Amino acid sequence: MNDPARFHLLLCAGGCCLSSGMASVRTALAAALAAHGLAEQVRVTATGCMGLCAQGPLLVVNPDGVCYCRLQAADMAELVRGHLVGGQVVERLLCPDPLTGAPVRALGDLDFYRRQRKVVLRNCGVVDPASLAEYEGRGGYQALRQALGKMTPAQVVEEVSHSGLRGRGGAGFPTGLKWAAVAKEPATPKYVVGNADEGDPGAFMDRSLLEGDPYSLIEAMTICGYAVGARQGYVYVRAEYPLAIERLEAAVATALAAGRLGPDIFGSGFGFTMAVRTGAGAFVCGEETALLHSIEGRRGEPHPKPPFPTAKGLFDQPTVLNNVETFANVPYILRHGAEQYRALGTRQSPGTKIFALAGNVVNNGLVEVPMGMSLREIVFDIGGGIPGGKMFKAVQIGGAAGGCLPIEQLDTPVTYEALPKAGAMMGSGGLLVLDEDTCMVDLARYFLEFLQEESCGKCTPCRLGIKAMRDILERICGGEGEEGDIGKLELLSDYLAQSALCGLGQAAPNNLLSTLRHFRVEYEEHIRRKHCRAGVCPALAPARAAGEEAR
């Protein structure tokens, strides 16, 4: 290597760090480096999300492996002078250990990272997302070379099937089955579609992947195209992700120029190309049939299945539609083999899962854990527990279609089997930690408000049923709840689950139902005693001290 640089600085340019001031930090860093004449000796790379969003903006100094956090532009002169010139770690800018408060030098020394297992996020926060060379330097495109050079399409499908990979969009459908279904369809052309219409409140797994490691998606979709016999891919990204779109489009262009996409990839004779399509802000376009309609230029709303997209998908052709995170597992599976992949996670839910950890938790951020880890470990060991000495109340998992689990269920492992049994679901990876100041009725009201506004309006149950439920909850939260309201909510919930056209409507009552199951007393307090114990609902009497009886 003839890189003259003595230091390699990684700046987190994920969405969170950018929004907490990374741009000005970066400008100040450049100025400080120039002032010390270090521009030549210090290589600076803007990476994707490093994960510990709560402590951003983050900067890692390599080769020392020292991580600085919560940086401000004004800190940069001291950091450059002290560490890069003087060789001394700037203690005051290190991350504090959430338990002891003692400064921690390397990210890996934090429990937050030690307990994670980065498979899908392996490159995120490490490489320059624009650099194909860096991607390949870390093993990128080995999987595709291996598939094209040594494997038949059927063997690729077999390997993915054998890995046990399941759809990370939330439903957990076996990916191998989906690929096999498209592979056996005689109709051509076929399509590969990546779903990056991530819309659950607080979720940013797909965004981080696209911003931090776009080539892994491109490689995976190319592998999928080879496996199922498709030559064209589309990635459907929500318009609210301009940076992800920009980086993905740049990566597609680079991959095309480098022959990683195009008519003859690696001289194999296999051709595949892809394009980015942008959504227009509708949550329902994350539903697969609605998404395909939207790509086709039609109104983004679902149609009933069957026919399934595997038989009649995009432009009525056989189509593999997988979530971005699902795809990003594929290169790892091919490189390391299904067996090694299956060693991660549980038997029925192999691999890892990314979660966007948010809410009342110390370490807000992006985490990747092996399946089967308990919610308790995620919330308390990785997440660092509840800030401000507050009591844990619930964890909301699975996004708008998910549910809330109370403290008694914190030992539930995150798997596709255990979470629904507990009354929640895996979902796409939103994980919201709620403390004692959360009103569970208000939370259910919030999710129904969100879903009512996002309902496409096509079918009656979703269009009118969710509105009716929301109105009841608004009344309850407004102090006008009546006896019988809970029964009405349960009636409507049952109705939606059975009769709505698509998953959005069918799963819409989930959060409500889980709060009714685990926090029913709060509903009864709202309705009968006009009391909101969390003090959230403004129309209701403020919270009373524990044990105090209502008059």
Partner 1 sequence: MSVHLTIDRIPVEVPEGTTLLEAARAAGVTVPTLCHVPGVASPGTCRVCVVEVEGMRTLQPACLAEAREGLVVRTASRRARESRRLTVELLLAAHGGDCPSCARNGACDLQRLAESLGIRELRFPLPHRETPPDRSTPALERDMRKCILCRRCVAVCAEIQGVGILAPCGRGLATEIVPGGETELANTLCVQCGQCSLVCPVGAIAERDDVPRVWAALDDPAKTVIVQTAPAIRAALGECFGLPPGSRVTGRMVTALRRLGFNAVFDTDFGADLTIMEEGSELLERLRRTLAGGEPAALPLFTSCSPGWINWLEQYAPELIPNLSTCKSPQQMFGAIAKTWYAQKTGVKPENLVVVSIMPCTAKKYECVREEMCASGVRDVDIVLTTRELGRMIAEAGIDFLHLPDGPMDAPLGISTGAADVFANTGGVMEAALRTVYELVTGRELPLPKLHVLPVMGLAGVKEAAVTLTGVLPEWSFLEGVTLKVAVAHGLANAREVCAAVRAGNPQGWHFIEIMCCPGGCIGGGGQPRPVDQAVREARIRAIYEEDEGRPLRKSHLNPAVQALYREFLGRPLGPLSHQLLHTHYHDRRPAEPFPPPANIPPPAATNSPR
Cα 492 to Cα 23, 495, 506: the distances in Å are: 48, 5, 11
Is 501 a residue that touches partner 1 (CB under 8 A)?
A: yes
- Rounded CA separation 272/224 (Å): 10
List the structure tokens of 80.
């450059």
| Ordered alpha helix ranges (H), 67-186 | 76-79, 111-114, 132-137, 142-150, 153-163, 175-183
Q: From the list 497, 524, 530, 536, which residue makes contact with partner 1 (rule: CB under 8 A)?
A: 497
Strand partners, 404: 396
Would you say 33 or 500 has its CB closer to partner 1? 500
- Rounded CA separation 432/427 (Å): 12
Is 499 a residue that touches partner 1 (CB under 8 A)?
A: yes
Is 420 a residue that touches partner 1 (CB under 8 A)?
A: no
- Binding segment for partner 1 among 52-60, 254-262, 325-333, 494-502 (CB under 8 A)? 494-502
Is 137 a residue that touches partner 1 (CB under 8 A)?
A: no
Is 460 a residue that touches partner 1 (CB under 8 A)?
A: yes
- Rounded CA separation 386/296 (Å): 45
Q: From the list 390, 467, 529, 530, which residue makes contact with partner 1 (rule: CB under 8 A)?
A: 467
Q: From the list 428, 452, 493, 515, which residue makes contact with partner 1 (rule: CB under 8 A)?
A: 452
Is 459 a residue that touches partner 1 (CB under 8 A)?
A: yes
Interaction mask 231-270, partner 1, x per CB under 8 A: ----------------------------------------
List the structure tokens of 40.
């030549």
Contacts of 7 (CB under 8 A, 6+ apart): 38, 41, 42, 43, 61, 62, 63, 64, 84
- Chain-centre distance for alpha carbon 76: 31
- Binding segment for partner 1 among 95-103, 312-320, 396-404, 498-506 (CB under 8 A)? 498-506
Would you say 112 or 450 has its CB closer to partner 1? 450
Q: From the list 61, 84, 441, 500, which residue makes contact with partner 1 (rule: CB under 8 A)?
A: 500
Instruction: For CA atoms 266, 269, 270, 276, give the dihedral sign.
Output: positive
- Binding segment for partner 1 among 13-21, 356-364, 400-408, 454-462 (CB under 8 A)? 454-462
First to last CA, the chain: 78
Least distance (Å) between residue 289 CB and partner 1: 11
Is 520 a residue that touches partner 1 (CB under 8 A)?
A: no
Least distance (Å) between residue 242 CB and partner 1: 22
Size of the site for partner 1 (CB under 8 A): 32
List the structure tokens of 92.
């005051």
Is 152 a residue that touches partner 1 (CB under 8 A)?
A: no
- Rounded CA separation 331/334 (Å): 5
Is 304 a residue that touches partner 1 (CB under 8 A)?
A: yes
- Binding segment for partner 1 among 153-161, 349-357, 457-465, 517-525 (CB under 8 A)? 457-465
- Rounded CA separation 427/398 (Å): 4
Helix, coil or strand: residue 338: helix
Q: From the list 495, 524, 529, 535, which residue makes contact with partner 1 (rule: CB under 8 A)?
A: 495
Q: From the list 488, 520, 528, 544, which residue makes contact with partner 1 (rule: CB under 8 A)?
A: 488
Least distance (Å) between residue 463 CB and partner 1: 6
Instruction: Tell me which residue of 177, 183, 301, 291 sits closest to 238, measured CA to CA.
Output: 291
Is 491 a residue that touches partner 1 (CB under 8 A)?
A: yes
Helix, coil or strand: residue 388: helix
Least distance (Å) between residue 223 CB and partner 1: 33
Least distance (Å) between residue 443 CB and partner 1: 21
List the structure tokens of 147.
């598939």
Is 311 a residue that touches partner 1 (CB under 8 A)?
A: no
- Rounded CA separation 478/150 (Å): 65
Within residues 27-56, the interface with partner 1 by CB under 8 A covers none
Instruction: Tell me which residue of 96, 142, 104 sits closest to 123, measured CA to CA.
Output: 142
Please give the full DSSP string across 413-428, using - where no structure is assigned. B-STTHHHHHT----S
Q: From the list 492, 508, 513, 532, which residue makes contact with partner 1 (rule: CB under 8 A)?
A: 492
- Chain-centre distance for alpha carbon 502: 22
Could you list the residues that contact partner 1 (CB under 8 A)? Answer: 282, 299, 301, 303-304, 452-461, 463-465, 467-468, 471-472, 488, 491-492, 495, 497-501, 506
